[in-house]
Amino acid sequence: MIQPIPMLTDNYCWLLSMPDRNDALLVDPSESDKAIQALEHAGRTLAGILITHHHADHVGGVQGIVDRLGPLPVVCSLYDHRHNRVPCATTEVGEGDIIEMAGMTFSICDVPGHTLGAIAYYNADANAAFTGDTLFLAGCGRLFEGTPAMMHASLQKLAALPPETLIYCGHEYTARNLRFAISIDPENIAIQNRIEKLPSDNIPTVPATLATELATNPFLRVETPSLRTFTHCDDPVGVFTALREARNRY
C-alpha cells in the first residue's frame, strides 16, 4: 500500500506498507503530527524513514517523529549524511545500493541536480519510484545546487526505469507544470489530453506512470524536434537548460 499524506502547502509524504505486516515506512515527512496521525489511523508501527534530500519541507518532521516514537532507522544519501543535513540520520546509501525495510526492497539511484545529495528509491515489486524533487509529474525540480548537466543526467537515469513505473514525487505541482508544458509545446496531443483529464481541486494527481511522463514531460523530451525549435538548441543539455530557465520565469 502506498498512501499519500498531504503536508504543508503542497508537499506529499508517503506511507508505505505491506498488507501482511503491521509495520510501515515514511518517505519525506515534513510534519511529525500528520505523519504520526496517519500511522495511527492505519494501525501501523513505524519501521523507518526514507529521505530523498535534505530540504526542510522533506525532513522537517523527522526530529519530532523520533522524539515521540523513539530511535529508528532514518535513511538518506551519503552526501547528506556526511554533511549532517538530515536530522537523526542513521543510514547512508548511494547509487546501486539495495535496502530492505518493512518487507520492502528498494534500489537507490543518485539523482543530483535539485540538490547534490538527492536520491530516489525504486521498488520493483510495486513498480514505484520515489523521486523527491528531482522528477515531478510533468516537470522537474529547480537547480539549487547542481548543474544542468547533472540534472539532465539524473532525469535520464530515471527515464530508463520500466515505463510502467509509477512516479511518486514530493509536491503537487502537476497542473501548473502541464500549463507550462502546453505553452511551449502546444501541438502535443498527449499534453492536451492530460490537461483535460486533470482531477478537481484537492484530489492528488500523483502518481503517474513513467510512460505518461515520457510523452508529456518536457524535461524528459529534450530531443523532441518541437522543443529543440522552441529553445533554439540541438544539444540535449542546452535544451534542458533553456527549458529550465523558461520554467523558472513562467
pLDDT at 201: 78
What percent of the chain is modeled with pLDDT above 90?
98
- With contact defined as beta carbons under 8 Å apart, do 119 and 52 qualify? yes
> CATH for 2-249?
3.60.15.10
Tell me the three cell numbers of residue 40.
Answer: 495511527
pLDDT at 169: 98
Cβ neighbours for 200, distance < 8 A, ≥ 6 positions apart: none
pLDDT at 202: 82
Tell me the three cell numbers of residue 124.
Answer: 520493483
DSSP 171: B
Mean pLDDT for 89-114 is 98
**pLDDT band at residue 133, thresholds of 50, 70 and 90?**
very high
200, pLDDT greater than 90: no
233, pLDDT greater than 90: yes
One-letter amino acid of 187: E
- Is the backbone of residue 127 left (phi > 0), alpha (psi -120 to 50) or beta? left
The helix (run of H) or strand (run of E) holding residue 5 is strand 2-7
239, pLDDT greater than 90: yes
Cα(214)–Cα(237) distance, integer angstroms: 17
245, pLDDT greater than 90: yes
110, pLDDT greater than 90: yes
Mean pLDDT for 177-189 is 97
Active site residues: 53, 55, 57-58, 114, 133, 171
33, pLDDT greater than 90: yes
Mean pLDDT for 157-164 is 98
| Nearest in space to 161 (alpha carbons), one of 200, 107, 84 | 107
pLDDT at 1: 93
What percent of the chain is modeled with pLDDT above 70?
100
pLDDT at 223: 95
Considering the chain, what is the average pLDDT of its residues?
A: 97
Cβ neighbours for 142, distance < 8 A, ≥ 6 positions apart: 114, 244, 248
DSSP 217: -
Cβ neighbours for 69, distance < 8 A, ≥ 6 positions apart: 36, 46
pLDDT at 222: 97
pLDDT at 225: 95
Which one has a higher pLDDT value, 199 or 44? 44
